[in-house]
């Protein structure tokens, strides 16, 4: 699976980031706890690393807690700080605020608010995080990539100000494994994806890495190949068309939705040790 797109709003978002970076003291980079490595945008690494950067792993309620802890340990070596949150229930927010309060302000600005820029790829939970921080729904949220269209300044308790930037995805995702991770997590618009192909890739990954999640959820036989598994998932889920044939696109949609909503269990697709090996 390869993904290539660069809508005008993405080019505009990168320009906005570059222009506004000088006005902030630090950056919050929001990452999906299920795919911490793949949800880092390589296009903005050099830009944002000019400032202290706090990595925030969102969707921690959907990810494997042990692997989330391992990712925090790994990210703390590369970032000013790293922490995980569940923005829906507010878990981890107190620790995040503690991290933010340790960030030094630029120059001698007296008592002015600490200014932070929030960046991340589409649909990693930036708006939900901001809404939880300020205690009300000020930033528009949605379950699809690209909801935030322009920059927004919001004031937080504790003498903090946040600049929320639009989600920014890079132009061409050539790494097939990374494209799969991003698609499975829902950070790429479903409309541009081949849903059946994504279904095959996800069932293949789970069959190899997390077989119990498939067997427990769908009661599948262990000797089935990925095509047979997706077909059986469709049959058991009632994804049938005229003549009793399985609608594979509908079956793939069921599987992807179950994964994204943690009905298969709290799963993390990337492990820190594997990422270190790949970088090496």
Residue-level pLDDT at 146: 40
Strand partners, 118: 28, 164
Phi-psi map region of 41: left, alpha, beta (phi>0 left; psi -120 to 50 alpha): beta
Q: In sequence order, what are the residues at sequence separation of 6 or more whose Cβ sits closer than 8 angstroms to the Cβ of residue 241?
A: 247
Domain boundary assignment for the chain:
3-164, 194-279
Return the H-helix or E-strand segment holding 31.
Answer: strand 26-32
- What is the CATH number that goes with domain 194-279? 1.10.1580.10
pLDDT of 10 over the 80 cut: no
pLDDT, averaged across the chain: 85
Task: Give the Cα separation of 248 and 239 in Å (integer).
Answer: 8
pLDDT of 86 over the 80 cut: yes
State the DSSP string of 9-78: HHHHHHHHHHHHGGG-SEEEEEEETTSTTTTS-GGGHHHHTTS-EEEEEE-TTTS-HHHHHHHHHHHTTT
Task: Give the Cα separation of 182 and 38 in Å (integer).
Answer: 7
Look at residues 158, 163, 230 and name the one whose alpha carbon lies nearest to residue 25: 163
264 in Cβ contact with 214 (< 8 Å): yes
Band (6; pLDDT cuts 50, 70, 90) = low
- Summarised one tens digit per residue, pLDDT across range 119-145 is 998 889 888 898 888 876 454 444 444
Q: Evaluate whether 3-164 and 194-279 have a shared fold.
A: no
Tokens 């605020």, residue? 97
pLDDT of 224 over the 70 cut: yes
Residue-level pLDDT at 216: 92
Task: Give the Cα separation of 195 and 26 in Å (integer).
Answer: 38
Task: Give the Cα separation of 48 and 174 in Å (integer).
Answer: 23
36 in Cβ contact with 63 (< 8 Å): no
Task: Give the Cα separation of 94 and 74 in Å (integer).
Answer: 21
Residue-level pLDDT at 31: 97
Look at residues 66, 190, 74, 65 and name the one whose alpha carbon lies nearest to residue 123: 190
Query: Strand, helix or coil at 247?
Result: coil
- What is the CATH number that goes with domain 3-164? 3.40.50.300
Strand partners, 190: none
Residue-level pLDDT at 173: 77
206 in Cβ contact with 21 (< 8 Å): no
């Amino acid at each position: 699976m390869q993904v290539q797109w660069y809508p005008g709003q993405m080019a505009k978002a990168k320009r906005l980031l570059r222009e506004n970076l000088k006005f902030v003291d630090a950056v919050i980079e929001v990452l999906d706890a299920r795919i911490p490595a793949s949800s880092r945008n390589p296009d903005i690494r050099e830009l944002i690393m000019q400032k202290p950067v706090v990595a925030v792993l969102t969707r921690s309620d959907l990810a494997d807690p042990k692997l989330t802890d391992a990712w925090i340990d790994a990210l703390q070596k590369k970032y000013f700080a790293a922490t995980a949150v569940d923005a829906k229930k507010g878990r981890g927010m107190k620790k995040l605020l503690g991290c933010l309060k340790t960030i030094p302000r630029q120059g001698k600005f007296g008592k002015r608010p600490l200014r932070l820029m929030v960046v991340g790829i589409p649909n990693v939970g930036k708006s939900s995080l901001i809404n939880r921080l300020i205690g009300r729904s000020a930033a528009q949220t949605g379950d699809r990539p690209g909801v935030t269209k322009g920059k927004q300044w919001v004031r937080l308790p504790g003498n903090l100000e946040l600049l929320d930037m639009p989600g920014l995805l890079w132009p061409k995702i050539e790494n097939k494994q990374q494209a799969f991770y991003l698609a499975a997590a829902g950070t790429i618009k479903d409309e541009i994806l081949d849903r059946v192909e994504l279904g095959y890739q996800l069932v293949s990954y789970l069959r190899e890495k997390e077989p119990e999640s498939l067997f427990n959820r769908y009661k599948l036989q262990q000797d089935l190949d990925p095509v047979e598994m997706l077909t059986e998932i469709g049959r058991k889920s009632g994804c049938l068309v005229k003549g009793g044939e399985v609608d594979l696109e509908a079956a793939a949609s069921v599987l992807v939705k179950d994964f994204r909503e943690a009905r298969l269990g709290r799963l993390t697709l990337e492990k820190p040790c594997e990422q270190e090996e790949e970088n090496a």
